[in-house]
Chain A
Amino acid sequence: MRRSFLRISSAGLLGLVLGTHALKGEASTYKEIEWDDLMPEGWRKKMILEVTRMRRYGSLMDGDPKADEAYARLKKAWDTAPPSKVYIGKAIRIPGYVVPLDAERMQSSEFLLVPYFGACIHSPPPPANQIILVKPPKGSKVRTMDAIWVEGVLSEGRSYSEIGSSAYVLNADKITPYR
């Protein structure tokens, strides 16, 4: 009798502990992810191989047609980098840098989110599956290269495969500065 009582109460205690954990999980409904998570695993491995191969050309002179060609091919492949299906339709939370699409001083209605600073100015642009087209809540204003957190539901970018566009679109519920 006593043993069954103990078993029930310990199960209850366990349930309580697990239950509170579950509650905590409910509170932050946005799963925090990293940019690497947005690259399909297979594609990522392929890219690593390509980049390693590129390093071999590093010993050649700048402007060597072979190196240029390889570089151009790589950049072209990046235009049609496929999205990872893992987080499509999920509520995610991800940090990044802003590249504005509109030219209005007082508010932003759409912008691109990229993983690194200077993605449109100094460095070459990222592959398509590392670009998110964000639609922010009304009244937001962000500036070029602002570092922010976005929270929202991720969806697949339309027509990315044919014309080379951002692989993802996100309807942002909230934007906060990145500290």
Chain B
Amino acid sequence: MVWLRIAFFSALARKGGLLIMVLSTAISVAILLGVFKIRDDTKTSFSNAISGVDLVVGAKGSPTELILYSVFHIGRATNTIAASYEKSLMAIKPVAWVVPVQLGDSFRGYPVVGTSIEFFTRIKAQGRHLELSEGKALTDPTLFEVVLGANVAKNTQLKRGEQIAITHGSGTGPKQDHSNSPFRVAGILKPNGTPIDNAVFISTNAFDALHDIEEGGIQFAKLNPDSQVSAFYVGLKDRGGVFSVRRQIDALPNAGLMGVMPGVALDDLWSTMEVAENALLIISLGVLITTILGITATLLVSLENRRRELAIFRAIGAKPYQLLRLVLFEALLISLIGIALGWLLLQIAILLSADYFRTSWGVVTSIGLPTTHDLMSLLALVIVVLLCACIPAIKAYRMALNEELNPPST
């Protein structure tokens, strides 16, 4: 339609000021869509932590920190406790099973978890038992077998039987010589939507032996009597007895242990997250409002500079409502280009920061098309912009109606 073309070229002629408005829109949209994405991705990454675990036992301290570290593998490392406490825990009557969890090392940015064979039979994800897509789970604690979470396998392209080098500390240094590493991929887990997808599992013996491997040439991992763990996952025979078990753990002499109920600690975490999410949302809405006000102001001011242009249109017989529509078209143009640019900005930001979010925050995020929710919000945004643009649009209409636009003269 000819008026759309006119609006486009008219805007192009004044692109200096309008470009700033487009940029402003782009940034606001990137922030808004970014906040939506953070909300969705953290929900996905943190909503399903671990099933079948009735208590997480660790050194006395902050319960939330213990859950974050031992279940999500993020946050500050908690104090370790002696692995020998496993026996004391099993002695408590309502306890059915105890699985040790060792943390502290990583493999190519993914956390390495030292645990027992029972992990793979006891621990569930979203109510379902863990399943393997390839190979088998850990079978022998003295072997240097490795089980990979689904995402780890996908991103590293490792297959069953391959040899990998897990070294003490963060494995992101220069490429090590693999030929001496005794670690072999024994199995790969199916994706299950929990932090297990992003972890690498080895036996506790192997975890303890990580220091010795550097000296080279060991085939079997011995049991270390002074082994330390970050936490124990505990399952009960009757879940209703959780209070009693907690009390008994607390009462263990000189142990300094605490038992945390994962559901309770996570509810705490989720409430905090919701507060943060809402705060982010309010801020991004504020940014958006500022932008919309800026667009309205720019359009209003531009009308003064366009008197001659509008007068010419009037002289050729353009009707007042057509001038009103011209202003609205321009507002529409700015919003649409701004939105497209903003979405692009967000994708670039995601590409650059995805790894950081995964390793530091345990949140898995990726680029992708806008969600239905995104599109509805953007539609609402465009409508609001057009509504606000009615102010300058109606002014143009009135200018035409009141014959304020007189034919250009010297």
Partners in one complex: yes
On A, residues with C-beta under 8 Å from B are 72, 75, 79, 99-106, 109-112, 119-121, 124-126, 128, 131, 133, 143-144, 157-160, 162-166, 169
Contact B247 A105 (CB under 8 A): no
> Interface range on chain B: under 10, 10 to 19, 20 to 34, or 35 or more?
35 or more
- When each residue 255-277 of chain B gets 1 if its CB lies under 8 Å from chain A and 0 otherwise, what string results? 00000011110111011000000
Contact A100 B261 (CB under 8 A): yes
Interface of A is mostly: loop
Contact A105 B264 (CB under 8 A): no
Closest B residue by C-beta to A108? B263
Contact B247 A79 (CB under 8 A): yes
Contact A103 B243 (CB under 8 A): no
Q: Write out the residue numbers on chain A whose beta carbons fall within 8 Å of the beta carbon of B239.
A: 101, 110, 133, 165
Contact A79 B244 (CB under 8 A): yes
Alpha-carbon distance between A45 and B383 when the two chains are bound, in angstroms: 69
Alpha-carbon distance between A143 and B242 when the two chains are bound, in angstroms: 17
Interface status of B161 (Cβ within 8 A of chain A): no
On B, residues with C-beta under 8 Å from A are 43, 46-51, 53-54, 71, 93-94, 126-127, 237-247, 251, 261-264, 266-268, 270-271
Q: Write out the residue numbers on chain B whose beta carbons fall within 8 Å of the beta carbon of A163.
A: 93-94, 237-238, 241, 244
Interface of B is mostly: helix
Contact A164 B93 (CB under 8 A): yes
Closest B residue by C-beta to A100? B263
Q: Which of B43, B127, B238, B242 contacts A157 (CB 8 A)?
A: B238
The contact sample of 13 A-B pairs, CB cut-off 8 A, is A79-B247, A100-B261, A100-B267, A103-B48, A103-B53, A104-B49, A105-B43, A125-B247, A144-B267, A159-B238, A163-B237, A165-B238, A165-B239
Alpha-carbon distance between A120 and B46 when the two chains are bound, in angstroms: 22
Q: Write out the residue numbers on chain B whose beta carbons fall within 8 Å of the beta carbon of A111.
A: 263
Nearest Cβ on chain B to A39's Cβ, whole angstroms:
16
Closest B residue by C-beta to A106? B47
Contact A157 B264 (CB under 8 A): no
User: Which residue, B51, B237, B244, B262, has most C-beta atoms of chain A within 10 A?
Assistant: B244
12 more A-B residue pairs beyond the given contacts A105-B46, A157-B238, A165-B244, with a C-beta to C-beta distance below 8 A: A75-B247, A101-B54, A102-B51, A103-B50, A103-B263, A106-B47, A133-B239, A144-B263, A159-B237, A163-B241, A165-B94, A165-B239
Q: Write out the residue numbers on chain B whose beta carbons fall within 8 Å of the beta carbon of A162.
A: 93
Q: Write out the residue numbers on chain A whose beta carbons fall within 8 Å of the beta carbon of B93.
A: 162-164
User: Which residue, B94, B241, B270, has most C-beta atoms of chain A within 10 A?
Assistant: B241
Alpha-carbon distance between A125 and B242 when the two chains are bound, in angstroms: 10
Nearest Cβ on chain A to B246's Cβ, whole angstroms:
7
Contact B264 A100 (CB under 8 A): yes
Q: Write out the residue numbers on chain B whose beta carbons fall within 8 Å of the beta carbon of A112.
A: 240, 242-243
Nearest Cβ on chain B to A23's Cβ, whole angstroms:
37
Given contacts A105-B48, A125-B246, A125-B247, contact A166 B240 (CB under 8 A): yes
Closest A residue by C-beta to B126? A104
